Amino acid sequence: HKADRKRKERRVMYCPTFFRAHSSNPGETMGEPIHMDFTLRVAEALMRLPIDLVLKPHPQAVSPDGRHYTQDVARVSYEKFEDIMDDVDIFIFDVINSTTFWEAVCTQDEVILINLGSIPMDDDIMRMLKRRCTVLDTEYDEAGKPQIDLQFLEQAIMAPAHSADPTEFRRLLAHDE
């Protein structure tokens, strides 16, 4: 657990959405090559930071030979998310329609959401997400590739650690009043 760790670097887990052949995250509108390029660019940028980075792909994103396309760029964990999430300081997601995203926002750990804009959200949901997460918006270039300000991503990761309040999401997901 976190209290037992002696390392100085914060452990950051990047959980990109999944694509593999003809299978993708429901609601995803971006093509597989474009999203793969985005994921690799983010992973490469994260590798330049003084953090302990682990990529956690969706189990369906692993190819038949057991590899994930990012494993040549960063360390990839194939363990169950629930088995390793307690040892993470910051979670990074690029999609909200994922079980792991909702599990992460129910922790007190920091969550960064890279908003690719592929899933429409009403203003109330976006305000709720911004209260709980650091939300980084993307813009699309003339080639249709999502671009993120990597300096903002670095600032969000390197900012002093803080405990987030998951109460609002826990109430929502547990239907508590």
The predicted model gives 99-128 an average pLDDT of 92
More confident: 137 or 59: 137
> Does position 124 have pLDDT exceeding 90, yes or no?
yes
For residue 123, what is the DSSP state?
A: H
What is the rounded CA–CA span in Å between residue 101 and residue 112?
Answer: 10
Number of Cβ within 10 Å of residue 54's Cβ equals: 19
More confident: 67 or 57: 57
- Total H helices, total E strands in the chain: 6, 9
The pLDDT mean for the chain works out to 86
* Per-residue model confidence as pLDDT tens digits over 9-52: 999 999 998 655 444 445 555 677 888 899 999 999 999 999 99
What is the rounded CA–CA span in Å between residue 96 and residue 2?
Answer: 25
> Does position 65 have pLDDT exceeding 80, yes or no?
no
Confidence of residue 175 (pLDDT cuts 50, 70, 90): low
Answer yes or no: are the C-beta atoms of 43 and 13 closer than 8 Å.
Answer: no
| Burial of 172 from C-beta contacts in 10 A (0-12 / 13-18 / 19+) | middle
Confidence of residue 177 (pLDDT cuts 50, 70, 90): low
What is the rounded CA–CA span in Å between residue 129 and residue 151?
Answer: 21
Residue entry with tokens 């911004």: 130
For residue 135, what is the DSSP state?
A: E
pLDDT score for 6: 59
Statement: the pTM of the whole predicted model exceeds 0.85: yes
What is the rounded CA–CA span in Å between residue 144 and residue 30?
Answer: 9
